[in-house]
Amino acid sequence: MATFVTFEDIEGWQMARRLTFEIYGASKKPLFAKDFGLQRQIRDASVSIMANIAEGFERGGSGEFQQFLAIAKGSAGEVISHLYVALDQGYINHDDFRSLEKALRDTGRKIGGLMSYLRQSDLRGPKYKASTRRERSGKRL
């Protein structure tokens, strides 16, 4: 697995960013745009995917990062659910639904893969960086 220097390096975040762009585009369509509640919810949920990946990464610990990744993955599911409403109301067509749904499921799998990797790895993030020998032995520097 690649090393991430910034959250922008994370493929799941990159995928979520593209999805957010697509969701904003789909929700600009005239019928969709008139449903202010659904439009706001689907946009907020799509932004939540990328925002939670970024926030979790910036927290610096792998445990917190995993929690935020779980929230991001959940938000991907939320967007899919909102897409069903948009489809059922005729705000988007079946082809647009399938394309967005596939991209969301792929993003969710990518996030899930990162979560799995973090659970199995010894990485603990920069805030859990190994201490020096002197610190471990109880001696002050």
What domains are there in the chain, each with its CATH number? Answer: 10-120 (1.20.1440.60)
Q: What average pLDDT is seen over the chain?
A: 88
pLDDT at 133: 36
Beta strands in the chain (DSSP E): none
pLDDT band for position 18 (cuts 50, 70, 90): very high
DSSP letter (8 states) at residue 121: S
pLDDT at 123: 64
pTM of the model: 0.84
Rounded CA separation 38/1 (Å): 37
Task: Confirm if 69 and 56 have CB atoms less than 8 A apart.
Answer: yes
Rounded CA separation 79/96 (Å): 13
The mean pLDDT of 1-10, rounded to a whole number, is: 82
H or E element, residue 116: helix 94-120
Q: Using alpha carbons only, what angle is made at residue 130 by residues 127 and 131, rounded to the nearest 5 degrees?
A: 100
Residue 128 has pLDDT above 70, yes or no: no
Place of tokens 């939320």: 78
The mean pLDDT of 38-53, rounded to a whole number, is: 98
Cβ neighbours of residue 7 closer than 8 Å, sequence gap 6 or more: 13, 53, 54, 57, 58
pLDDT at 125: 60
Rounded CA separation 109/77 (Å): 11
